[in-house]
A = this chain, B = another copy of it.
Amino acid sequence: MDTSKRIKELNVSPIRKLIPYAEQCEDRGIDVIKLNIGQPDIETPQEYIDAIKDYDGKVLEYVHSRGLNYFIDTIINYYKRFGLDYKFDDIIVTQGASEALMYVMMTICDLEDEILVFEPFYANYNNFADIVNVKLVPVTTYAEDGFRIPDLKTIEKSLTKKTRGVLISNPSNPTGRIYSKEELDTLAELAIKYDLFIISDEVYKEFNYTDEKFFSFGNYSNLKDRVILVDSISKRFSCCGARIGNIATKNKGVIEGFMKLAQARLSVATLEQHAAAALEKVSPEYIRETKRRYKARRDLLVDRLSKMPGVLTNEPNGAFYSIVKLPVDDAEKFVIWTLENISINDKTVLITPAKGFYLTPGLGENEVRISYCVNTDILSDAMDILELALNKYPNRTV
């Protein structure tokens, strides 16, 4: 019995693809430092755990497909801190940002419609698009200028009659870039000129290492009808395992359409939403401290990489990732070779080849994404291992 053509053609997530090699290391007694995934090591707030423990319902029931009322209320309050005025009817709770993105694509795109993305982009975007038969069209950004969004004219070249929207991750996974107001203005102009939606994935907005306030796409008063925010508690409260996200939009048609999909899957986990509501009580110091820790890691990462000959890196100013150019023939081969050949004190390192973050063939071949979700001691060990691997790797190019 054979499966469908579409499922056979679906690409496996590049982030998880190399895990079997890492498992082989572990079988040999080598500890693998995992800089490949965005799994924070920060403790989940006690408020989350306490709320679950205090839950006193006798029957664990479905909640409304839109989400749990009092959790939605906390989302509204949260957005107010960013100057965003979303009401109850503008929000739908989702099974993480993943479900939100898939369902948003379906809501705005028919089969074969197109969405612009800036490559390198979060690789699963392409899986979501494939799943719902939407085509992502990449506009390339370059390590050499910090992955800046190009000007309007350049972006316009990628538009077709089928373009329905622009999808952006801000702060960016995988580059760590926080886009400037000027870059966002370009996209705002584009959206108005060509009647496009803007899907703004802002799950990393709390991880902003600049001195400027984060500017959300929801802050544009002239784009209300076009902007769909995608959000999640996973990263900001270090609770990826909760699978709680949401969308927020002033577009009534989008809410109405998305609700049909939400109703089909009935509801999102009740207890997790109940606990997520309690996150409103978490002290602002929790986020400040988390940011301080990530910033220290970012500084260490940039410092170490900048001292490695032939390595090109930027200082990411948001999220907890960086795209790094390595002096190697092929980053995937290098990553596997490192797992198989390099260790220091029985430790090795797993990073993600960046090819999967690009759609244009040939791009990203010598780049990797490094996630700095580990503490500075471990990160320092990882940099020692990377440095050694680069020195010993037989197919260095520089």
Interface size for A (C-beta < 8 A) is 79
A241-286 residues with Cβ-Cβ distance < 8 A to B are 241-243, 251, 253-254, 256-258, 260-261, 263-272
A26-54 residues with Cβ-Cβ distance < 8 A to B are 37, 39-44, 48-49, 52-53
Residues of B near A254 (CB, < 8 A) are: 1, 3
Smallest Cβ-Cβ distance to A266: which chain B residue: B98
Tell me if A398 is interfacial: C-beta within 8 Å of chain B: no
Contact across chains for B257 and A4 when beta carbons are under 8 A apart? yes
Contact across chains for B3 and A108 when beta carbons are under 8 A apart? yes
Residues of B near A127 (CB, < 8 A) are: 260, 263-264
Contact across chains for A4 and B197 when beta carbons are under 8 A apart? no
Residues of B near A44 (CB, < 8 A) are: 57-60
Tell me if A195 is interfacial: C-beta within 8 Å of chain B: yes
Contact across chains for A263 and B12 when beta carbons are under 8 A apart? yes
A residues with CB within 8 A of B = 1-8, 10-13, 16, 37, 39-44, 48-49, 52-53, 55, 57-63, 65, 95-96, 98-99, 102, 106-111, 113, 124, 127-128, 131, 133, 164, 195, 197, 225-226, 238-243, 251, 253-254, 256-258, 260-261, 263-272
Contact sample, A vs B, 26 pairs, CB 8 Å cutoff? A2-B253, A3-B257, A4-B106, A4-B110, A6-B106, A6-B110, A7-B106, A7-B260, A7-B261, A8-B257, A11-B260, A13-B263, A39-B61, A44-B59, A49-B55, A52-B52, A59-B238, A60-B240, A60-B241, A60-B242, A95-B95, A96-B265, A131-B264, A241-B269, A243-B266, A243-B267
> Other CB < 8 Å A-B pairs besides A7-B258, A60-B241, A133-B133, 12 of them?
A1-B253, A4-B106, A4-B164, A6-B110, A7-B257, A13-B263, A44-B58, A44-B59, A48-B60, A60-B238, A62-B241, A99-B265
